[in-house]
């Protein structure tokens, strides 16, 4: 670990990681034309990344910039909640249930996959 990274305040690390995560999130939205598929993709990929990070031997500063910063901005619980709420409000209860359960289960499996990858 370089000394300059260790010397940076946590808020700055989160800000840098968050900026990169937000840009990556936007890139996924553009590539997948936004909507449910984009939200699902970032939440699952972010869960894999976070699972790998928290089970790795990464230094605290890396966890801060990549975990809290990048993954925090890249993933999106709020968009997930809006998607499920809108589907339910429009009477699409099956879609709401599939979206909610599918995202939660797949994201949890993603954490496991990430943890497994970190252990390799």
**Predicted confidence (pLDDT) per residue in 79-88, tens digit:** 999 999 999 9
pLDDT range class, residue 1, cuts 50, 70, 90: low
Given this model, what pLDDT does residue 120 score? 76
d(Cα 51, Cα 115) in Å, to the nearest integer? 5
Distance (Å) of CA 113 to CA 14, 40, 66, 110: 24, 16, 17, 5
Asked whether the predicted pLDDT for residue 89 surpasses 90, the reply is: yes
103 and 43 Cβ atoms separated by less than 8 Å: yes
Helical H segments across 8-92, by residue range = 10-32, 35-55, 60-62, 72-74, 77-89
pTM (global) more than 0.75 = yes
Please write down the HEC assignment for all residues of 65-76. Answer: HHHHHHHHHHCC
Q: What angle do CA 116, 32, 102 make, to 5 degrees?
A: 50
Q: Is 2 annotated as a binding residue?
A: no
Q: Is 75 annotated as a binding residue?
A: yes
**Predicted confidence (pLDDT) per residue in 10-62, tens digit:** 899 999 999 999 999 999 999 999 889 999 999 999 999 999 999 999 999 99
d(Cα 77, Cα 48) in Å, to the nearest integer? 15
pLDDT range class, residue 5, cuts 50, 70, 90: low
User: How buried is residue 86: exposed, middle or buried, by Cβ count under 10 Å (0-12/13-18/19+)?
Assistant: middle
């Amino acid at each position: 670990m370089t000394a300059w990274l260790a010397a940076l305040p946590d808020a700055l690390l989160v800000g840098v990681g968050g900026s990169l995560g937000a840009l990556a999130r936007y890139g996924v939205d553009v590539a997948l034309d936004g909507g449910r598929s984009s939200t699902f993709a970032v939440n699952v990929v972010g869960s894999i990344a976070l699972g790998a990070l928290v089970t790795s031997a990464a230094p605290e500063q890396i966890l801060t910039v990549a975990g809290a910063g990048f993954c925090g901005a890249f993933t999106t619980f709020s968009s997930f909640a809006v998607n499920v709420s809108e589907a339910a409000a429009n009477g699409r209860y099956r879609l709401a249930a599939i979206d909610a359960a599918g995202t939660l289960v797949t994201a949890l499996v993603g954490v496991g996959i990430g943890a497994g990858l970190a252990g390799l």
